Amino acid sequence: MPEDDSDFPDSDYAPPGPIPSPEAYDAWFRAKIEKALADPRPGIPHAVVMAQVQAILDRHKKPQD
């Protein structure tokens, strides 16, 4: 997990792994959405998130010649 994302557990980045059917994927995806919607933490304003993402991108940007 990147150090920039220390507030998020590794499981938030885990892909579903092999899913045998579209129905199984749908169930996995819906469970992830339900978990996110039930999260009691306060929301983060869009502008704050975008500023954080831009800072991460800027730190990792390769210098142009």
- One-letter-per-residue 3-state SS of 5-48: HCCCCHHHHCCCCCCCCHHHHHHHHHHHHHHHHHCCCCCCCHHH
What percentage of the chain has pLDDT greater than the value 90? 45
In a domain, 47, yes or no: yes
**Residue-level pLDDT at 5:** 57
Is this prediction's pTM over 0.75?
Answer: no
Q: Give the structural domain span for 55.
A: 10-61
Render pLDDT for 8-28 as a digit per residue (tens, 0 to 9).
677 767 777 787 899 988 998
Contact assessment for residue 15 and residue 27, using Cβ atoms and an 8 Å cutoff: no
Burial of 56 (0-12, 13-18, 19+ CB in 10 A): middle
In a domain, 4, yes or no: no
In a domain, 2, yes or no: no
In a domain, 29, yes or no: yes
